[in-house]
Structure 1
Amino acid sequence: MKQEAKLIFNNIKEQYVHFGLPVDGIDENTDFAIHNLKEIHTTLPYQSLIYRPNFFSFVFVKDATGKYTTDELTFDIVPGTIYFTNPGHFKSHNWLQMQEVYLVTLSESFLKENVHPDIFEEFQFLLAETVQPRVLAPTAFAEFEQLYLQIAKEYQNHSPYRNRIIGNLFVVLLLKIKEYFWKDYNPIYEGNRSSQIVKEFKQLLEKHYRDLNKGLVEKAYRVQDYADAQSLHPNYLSNVIKIKTGKPIGTWIAEKTISEAKALLQNSKISIKEIAYRLGFAESPHFSNYFKKHTDVSPVLFRKLHSMAAS
């Protein structure tokens, strides 16, 4: 899939408004939505534009056909298909015929607040780059149907406990997904892919700090920026870096920042204010506090000590 798309949506309502689809059944007061797509796509076939959502999507296809694409991969949709995607991927879908397809969308904050505070520890598959869809036998699909229909019922019931009830039902749904989807997990593929992600992260880290030093860019990258560069969810990137290298991604960034700062303090005569600016700090006091936190000495003292040692 070509990734020139600039359509980025933070929630399902933004997406539907942009595409001219009905939004009557969407509650703006929660980062959660569930509905039967047959009520949305009244004219078929339907081909969406390429877009990039910043939310999780779970699709339960009881009776429909079509295709969906995530990044460069295209999958057929047939009755009994279940699939999900996480934020940050370029997507599109093509519906040919449809009788019943339930779509669940929710944000990371909803997952953490109402499902599990350590959601990505408990359900690591949520951050996998691409999870193959599953086509289940009718008896197996019926287990999911019972759950998502109950969730849909609770969504329409504006109880003060609605989000907590939905959250608890969603735990069961995620456990069933883990049971059916994760049994064919391929650690060899994941390992190879993870190695490539780490390699690209390290290359970008080096390039970015060279660009900062040369004044080609002004702001230091955050984890989100490194994730965006590889079209990954930031939590997924962080997990891969920690698992493959043994160090959190924040440590990699901090160590690189301090390393560059030390080199500039030792080997140049430019002011600390200019060094701070080159490393992406808006103010030199912020840089000084950051440097001291990681080295136990201030930039001024570090430069003085090393100039004395050199002489």
Structure 2
Amino acid sequence: MSKHKQTGIPPVFNNLVENYNHLGLPVELIDPDNEFTIHKLNDIHHELPYKSPVYRANFYAFVFVKNGEGKYTTDEMEFFTEPGTIYFTNPGHYKSFEWHQLKEVFLVTMSESFLKENVHASVFEEFPFLLAETVPPRVLKPEIYAEIEPLYLQIYKEYFSHSPYKNKIMGNLFVVILLKIKEYFWEDYNPISEGNRSSQIVKHFKRTLERHYRELNAGKARKVFRAQDYAAAQNLHPGYLNNVIKTKTGKSVTTWIIDKTITEAKSMLQHSNIPIKQVADQLGFTETAHFSNYFKKYTDVTPLVYRKQFA
């Protein structure tokens, strides 16, 4: 019996392969070495109805339901899906799903690193809805859904290609999907789950985190915020802020800061030619050696090796 089953604590998954392995679902169609995945759910779920246990996912998931029926939960909220539905969830939530009918449904997952490196360097500034606590699903009119379908089908084709540029191609195609989501989802967005105090704290924290790293990148800030700085920004005790963030997202404030620092470092190393010393300086490290050790601790490679991989 697994630890999660013994304690009753929902398991946490950092990627889809971990998720499907735990659920006993096939993973042959998923590239375990890519932080981006896309597949047809009807190729995975051969027996219906299917109902998953509750789990926490630390990755983004976008679902495109051309023809299918089911429902899913995000934290305490329940949503139903039908033909023409598009929905997405961001990292940290308790989730579960069930499918009663699957004829043509695609699932796309990705990490924040993939979003920053291949979709848009300022992805959360351009698409702020990605930071929202919960965005309810939308059922699109057939003519609107028809604008989005060719995009994810082309991404699906590229996913199985051997092009050295496939991540960039998929990322650029996904930018168009995000623009469509922004156009059709966001104009009348109703933050149904962001009215309670805890959700407001999480929302404020995520936006402060994103804004601070933009300022670091632009040279407008020199010092990386610590947990107590984010707490002070909301006039909260650091312990209380950490409890709220950990409960709502599954990650501590410190883990959020580490993940964000590494994500920004990867983006700068891949998308610019500035010296590693300058990357370290812009991220608040006084010593290049300290930055290199920090980066290697969380990625298993040095900044120089990481940059050479994308040269």
Give me the TM-score of the superposition, normalised by structure 1: 0.64
The residue type paired with residue 134 of structure 1 is R
Q: Deviations over 1:235-277 (max 9, x none)?
A: 9xx9xxxxxxxxxxxxxxxxxxxxxxxxxxxxxxxxxxxxxxx
1:231 aligns with 2:249: yes
Moved over 4 A (4+): 189-196, 199-205, 232-235
Match of 2:147 in 1: 143
Match of 1:163 among 164, 167, 172: 167
CA deviation after TM superposition for structure 1 residue 194, in Å: 6.5
CA positional deviation for 1:205: 4.3
> What is the deviation of 1:16?
0.7
Query: Cα offset for 1:227?
Result: 2.0
Map 1:85-124; keep pairs closer than 5 Å: 85-124=89-128
C-alpha deviation, 1:138, in angstroms? 1.2
Matched, 1:17 2:35: no
The secondary structure found in structure 2 opposite 1:109 is helix
Deviations 1:130-184 (A, max 9, x none): 1010001111111111110000001011200000101100100100011110011
CA contact (8 A) 1:86 1:233 kept: no
2:208 aligns with: none
Root-mean-square deviation (Å) = 2.9
Aligned residues of 2:92 and 2:250 also touching (Cα < 8 A): yes
- Kindly indicate whether the alpha-carbon contact (under 8 Å) linking 1:55 and 1:108 is maintained by their aligned counterparts in 2: yes
- Note if 1:49 corresponds to 2:80: no
Using the alignment, how far apart are the partners of 2:251 and 2:130 within structure 1? 10
**Alignment equivalent of 2:187, drawn from 183, 187, 194:** 183
Secondary structure, counterpart of 1:29 in structure 2: coil
Which structure would you say has the larger Rg? 1
Q: Which SS does the other structure have where 1:158 is aligned?
A: coil
Give the one of 235, 239, 249 matched to 1:208: 239
SS of the residue corresponding to residue 171 of structure 1 reads helix
Q: Tell me, what secondary structure is at the counterpart of 2:187? A: helix
8 Å CA contact 1:68–1:93 kept in 2: the answer is yes
The count of aligned residue pairs is 220
Structure 2 equivalent of residue 197 of structure 1: 200
In 1, are the aligned partners of 2:65 and 2:106 still within 8 Å (CA)?
Answer: yes
> Contact conserved, 2:64 with 2:84, CA < 8 A, in 1?
yes
- Per the TM alignment, residue 233 of structure 1 is displaced from its structure 2 partner at its CA by 8.0
Q: Secondary structure at the match of 2:179?
A: helix
**Aligned equivalents of 1:196, 1:153: Cα separation in 2:** 38
Whether contact under 8 Å (2:42, 2:105) holds in the other structure is: yes
Q: Give, in whole Å, the separation in 1 of the partners of 2:115 and 2:197.
A: 25
Distance 2:64 2:105 in 1: 6
Q: Does the Cα contact within 8 Å between 2:194 and 2:200 map onto a contact in 1?
A: no
- Structure-2 change in CA distance of 1:80 and 1:143 (3 Å): same
Alignment of 1:247-258 (within 5 A): none
Letter paired with 1:107:
S
Contact 2:20–2:26 (8 Å) recurs in 1: yes
In structure 1, stretches of 5+ residues that fail to align are: 210-220, 239-311
Distance across 2 between alignment mates of 1:198 and 1:96: 36
- Output the TM-score relative to the length of structure 2: 0.64
Partner of residue 11, structure 2: 7
State the identity %. 57
Distance 1:204 1:231, change over 3 A: farther
Tell me how far apart the structure 2 counterparts of residues 79 and 24 of structure 1 sit (CA, whole Å): 27
Counterpart CA distance in 1 for 2:172 and 2:53 is: 34
Q: 1:5 to 1:65 in 2, by over 3 A?
A: farther
Q: Is the 8 A contact 2:91 2:249 kept in 1?
A: no
Which residue identity is paired with 1:177? I
Q: Displacement, 1:42?
A: 0.4
Distance 1:94 1:50 in 2: 11
In the alignment, does 2:86 pair up with 1:82? yes
CA distance in 1, matches of 2:239, 2:97: 35
Specify the SS of the correspondent of 1:13: helix
Aligned residue identity for 2:110:
L
